């Protein structure tokens, strides 16, 4: 499929899983009606608790659980490929993986990526501190899969600050990269557009980046501005803070023409480490 519509869904998720899934279902349904064939949900779309440990109560066994069933059923219902942001999958005792699951248009799971880079930071300014590693085990492998829409690479939120991961995906010949996220308001204002567009430009790939947006019941503020960027770094669609859908055309013929005319990926030189 050389061209198609993709959708990045933006939400303001809460501690109420049922309410979040209801919101996600409405937005997915609208994206499908609008013509999207590939739909991507944000990080933590199904649950954002008052405390980091709250997610443990909603951890699912890999391959079984209500959130996974929801993703499979709605992908099949709307005959879309669906990437389920992140959901908590059981890991070591007291921890989960932050897993992004890919479902095809028959509702069959065809890929799982566990977030590799965990957000253990004190945000400059002193008012925000995060320790994802206290409740999340890191993944260990990138994910690149063949789809009817081109080669797809899956990454999550804080991963976007680590270009070496995206170079691994470039080595796997990815054409579309997804970045489901829950960027904080402060870090998003500083770096969201810069980082997502940089990953598009340096890898000459489309980037689909759905984000959480707004004030959550736990007091956290996320940046929103879900976007879709093309391989030249142009933003094709972008939201502000509202829940909704960023919808844009992915054109693989245009991508291949750009790569042929501007073969930066072929010009890479791997240098020895600086001494």
Q: Terminal CA-to-CA distance of the chain, rounded, Å?
A: 47
Q: Which residues are catalytic?
A: 43, 115, 157
Compute the distance between CA of residue 163 and CA of residue 160 in angstroms, rounded to an integer: 7
Here the tokens at position 257 are: 């023409």
Compute the distance between CA of residue 66 and CA of residue 17 in angstroms, rounded to an integer: 10
Compute the distance between CA of residue 102 and CA of residue 23 in angstroms, rounded to an integer: 19
Residue whose C-alpha is closest to residue 195's, from 231, 151, 160, 144: 160
Instruction: Tell me how far the alpha carbon of residue 217 is from its chain's centroid.
Output: 22
Instruction: Tell me how far the alpha carbon of residue 22 is from its chain's centroid.
Output: 20
Instruction: Tell me how far the alpha carbon of residue 77 is from its chain's centroid.
Output: 22
Here the tokens at position 163 are: 């270009």
Do residues 149 and 37 touch, judged by C-beta distance below 8 A? yes
């Amino acid at each position: 499929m050389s061209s198609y519509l993709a959708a990045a869904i933006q939400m303001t998720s809460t501690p109420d899983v049922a309410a979040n899934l209801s919101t996600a279902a409405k937005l997915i349904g609208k994206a499908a009606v609008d013509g999207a064939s590939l739909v991507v949900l944000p990080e933590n779309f199904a649950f954002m608790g008052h405390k980091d440990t709250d997610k443990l109560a909603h951890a699912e066994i890999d391959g079984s659980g209500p959130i996974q069933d929801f993703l499979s059923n709605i992908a099949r219902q709307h005959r879309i490929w669906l990437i389920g942001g992140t959901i908590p999958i059981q890991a070591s005792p007291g921890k989960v993986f932050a897993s992004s699951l890919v479902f095809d248009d028959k509702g069959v799971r065809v890929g799982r990526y566990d977030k590799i880079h965990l957000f253990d930071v004190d945000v400059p300014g002193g008012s925000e501190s995060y320790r994802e590693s206290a409740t999340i085990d890191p993944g260990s492998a990138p994910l690149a899969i063949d789809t009817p829409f081109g080669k797809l690479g899956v990454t999550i939120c804080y991963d976007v600050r680590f270009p070496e991961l995206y170079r691994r995906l470039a080595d796997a010949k990815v054409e579309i990269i997804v970045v489901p996220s829950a960027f904080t308001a402060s870090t998003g204002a500083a770096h969201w557009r810069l980082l997502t567009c940089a990953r598009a430009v340096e890898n000459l790939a489309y980037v689909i980046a759905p984000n959480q947006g707004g004030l959550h019941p736990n007091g956290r503020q996320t940046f929103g501005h879900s976007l879709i960027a093309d391989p030249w770094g142009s933003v094709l669609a972008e939201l502000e803070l509202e829940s909704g859908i960023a919808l844009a055309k992915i054109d693989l013929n245009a991508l291949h023409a750009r790569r042929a005319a501007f073969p930066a990926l072929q010009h890479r030189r791997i240098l020895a480490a600086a001494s």
